[in-house]
Structure 1
């Protein structure tokens, strides 16, 4: 999509009526087949929790009154440093390569600078090459990697039997175990001190084709 001279990207704070559209846009962008790590972290609490705690760093972009993208961020304060942290950036496929991501990032960083941030952090799936390239063009670098390991419990020799035992026990008792209540959390849970900047290279053609 290309803008004409009358079109513009309008950036504003996330409002309560934006929560559902932003969440569903994230569902469209952060898919399990493309980015399993991002898919694991993206849920309704990501939008609701940050809207409640850091509304000034949660922004949406509109084009002709249509949702074009969003950015969700926070501030991390340590003893001697204040970090701005971009947790999520997503641009609708209809509005990619139109400057939406640039305006969202610039606006969010400006607000974080006003609040004392002197260092910026962002993380994404290593397979998310367009996002990596986009952020490199914005000046991010110094890549670090955090290793995530996984295990399919059902296929594990011991844990698989334990799962089957629990299922049988529940059936005998006549109830179905409910899922524990979810709590707000973000991608940095447990690794805030190790969150790292992702490498990026200059490439306008793919700068907004994938989410953070």
Structure 2
């Protein structure tokens, strides 16, 4: 058993991913997601035209966040597609740090609204997103924001059945 001191990372840095992070990111995907989601997560992190952040702890890639941007009507939106933390670094606030940095990154790139979605049964993700300031938004709330364009929105965020959408706006 590890002592508390051994489990705590000495330094956490969040930065843009580089090619040498790919192997560790794929390992984190394999350790973090059910098979259905692994394919989509692996595919999306390979897209170089969208932001990919990594959390580095003790000189290791400890987690990542894959982001995407899209426009619905006149609104420039951002979305946190995936956040995952390696099991040995969980429960240390890395997911919250990645979430906050992801929101900041998307805001700096011009997003007026930032979305995320997760399985409604994923209590850890829901707690992290809520702590970061996200609120659940249902179909009616999205309809009020986007009207009929809401259907395009669902395609842009890779929404899956059983998920809830969360929003943080300015």
Aligned counterpart for 1:28 among listed residues 28, 31, 36: 31
In angstroms, what is the RMSD of aligned CA positions?
2.8
Task: Report what 1:41 is aligned to.
Answer: 40
The answer to whether the Cα contact below 8 Å between 2:66 and 2:82 also exists between their aligned partners in 1 is yes
For structure 2, list consecutive stretches of 5 or more residues without a partner in the other structure: 140-151
Classify the secondary structure of the residue corresponding to 2:46: helix
Task: Report what 1:132 is aligned to.
Answer: 126
The structure with more strand, counted as a fraction of residues: 2
Q: Partners in 2 of 1:42 and 1:83 — Cα distance?
A: 20
Larger radius of gyration: 1
Q: Partners in 2 of 1:16 and 1:24 — Cα distance?
A: 14
Task: Report what 1:197 is aligned to.
Answer: 165
What TM-score do you get using the length of structure 1 for normalisation?
0.61
Provide the aligned length of Structure 1 versus Structure 2.
148
Runs of 4+ more than 3 Å apart? 1-6, 193-196
Q: Partners in 1 of 2:154 and 2:124 — Cα distance?
A: 26
Q: Partners in 2 of 1:6 and 1:129 — Cα distance?
A: 24
For structure 1, list consecutive stretches of 5 or more residues without a partner in the other structure: 146-187, 200-212
Offset at residue 71 of structure 1 (A): 0.4
Task: Report what 1:13 is aligned to.
Answer: 16
1:147-186 matches, cutoff 5 A? none
Task: Report what 1:98 is aligned to.
Answer: 92
**Quick one: higher RCO (CA 8 Å, sep 6+), 1 or 2?**
1
